[in-house]
Structure 1
Amino acid sequence: MLGCVYYPWTALHPIRWVQVLTLANPLVYMSEGLRANLTPSTGHMPTWAYLTALTLGTAALGHLALRRFARRVQT
Structure 2
Amino acid sequence: MTDNWRGFVAYYAVLVAFTLTAVVVIGGLLFIVVALAEWAVNAVMWLADNPGERDLATIGVLALLALLAGEYRRKR
What TM-score do you get using the length of structure 2 for normalisation?
Answer: 0.39
User: More relative contact order in 1 or in 2 (CA 8 Å, sep 6+)?
Assistant: 1
What TM-score do you get using the length of structure 1 for normalisation?
Answer: 0.39
Larger Rg over CA atoms: 2
Greater share of helix residues, 1 or 2? 2
